[in-house]
């Protein structure tokens, strides 16, 4: 089968599996809500970063992006589903590339829209505290946030293919993002900057210190994501449907 029909087929799966659009809706709702709450928080802290405050809803909201990527792949491991897919698309690499593409595009689109909405609602609450943000910094934050959320969704997709389980993927990633990453960061200092979530989140900050910057941090996250996808593709080739 040619690549375009495979893309159409995988896109149809994304649209018709109700939990997947629901995960993207949850991404938008949770991120915007938490950013709105952050926007009315105290701004007298000398380390206050208005850009990160405005986009801080991404930290809890990204769980929905991770769930989107994990569920999009793990749905194929229901009894008989992958066997039917591979009967139509015997070339597993082509199928997995199409799957990654239809995860990436909506994750990027919804992630960018979510970041813009979060920035707007948080700025309304921050008022004059956010006046120092330049247009360039805000554009960088919104675009970078969309790219970050896309990469985290793809990272989860790669792990789901490797582990062949959405539950196992979420059980691994959610505690890591919400707890372990912060603990490691406090204990190891700059080494934590190279973790997949910490590196990508640098793009959400107005000011940043350390080895990495906003775009180099996203590049590190992209390398983690590429590694996860390659391992997932390797597992798909090695295991029976």
Q: Best-predicted range by mean pLDDT among 64-78, 84-98, 126-140, 143-157?
A: 143-157
pTM (predicted TM-score): 0.92
Stretch 67-91: mean pLDDT: 79
154-166 residue pLDDT tens = 999 999 999 988 8
* pLDDT surpasses 90 at 109: yes
* pLDDT at residue 65, rounded to an integer: 97
Q: 35 with 15: CB under 8 angstroms?
A: no
* pLDDT at residue 208, rounded to an integer: 80
User: pLDDT band at residue 189, thresholds of 50, 70 and 90?
Assistant: low
Lowest mean pLDDT among 55-59, 120-124, 172-176, 180-184: 180-184
Please, where are the H alpha helices in 50-193? 50-55, 58-74, 81-88, 92-126, 135-163, 166-175, 181-188
Stretch 179-193: mean pLDDT: 67
Q: 85 with 95: CB under 8 angstroms?
A: yes
Q: What is the CA radius of gyration of the chain?
A: 18
CA triple 195-199-205, angle to 5 deg: 145
* Domain coordinates in residue numbering, the chain: 3-238
* pLDDT surpasses 70 at 87: no
């Amino acid at each position: 089968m040619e690549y375009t029909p495979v893309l159409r087929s995988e896109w149809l799966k994304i649209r018709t599996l109700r939990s997947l659009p629901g995960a993207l809706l949850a991404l938008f709702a949770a991120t915007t809500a938490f950013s709105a709450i952050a926007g009315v928080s105290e701004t007298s802290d000398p380390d206050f970063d208005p850009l990160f405050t405005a986009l801080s809803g991404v930290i809890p909201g990204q769980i929905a992006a991770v769930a989107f990527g994990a569920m999009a792949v793990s749905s194929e491991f229901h009894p008989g589903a992958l066997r039917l897919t591979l009967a139509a698309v015997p070339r597993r690499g082509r199928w997995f590339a199409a799957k990654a593409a239809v995860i990436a595009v909506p994750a990027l689109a919804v992630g960018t829209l979510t970041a813009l909405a979060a920035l707007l609602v948080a700025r309304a609450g921050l008022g004059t505290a956010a006046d120092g943000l330049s247009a360039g910094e805000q554009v960088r934050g919104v675009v970078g946030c969309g790219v970050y959320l896309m990469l985290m969704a793809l990272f989860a997709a790669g792990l789901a293919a490797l582990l062949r389980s959405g539950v196992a993927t979420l059980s691994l990633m959610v505690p890591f993002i919400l707890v372990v990453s912060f603990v490691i960061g406090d204990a190891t200092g700059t080494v934590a900057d190279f973790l997949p979530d910490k590196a990508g989140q640098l793009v959400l900050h107005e000011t940043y210190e350390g080895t990495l910057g906003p775009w180099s941090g996203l590049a590190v996250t992209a390398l983690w994501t590429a590694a996860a996808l390659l391992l997932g593709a390797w597992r798909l080739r090695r295991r029976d449907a």
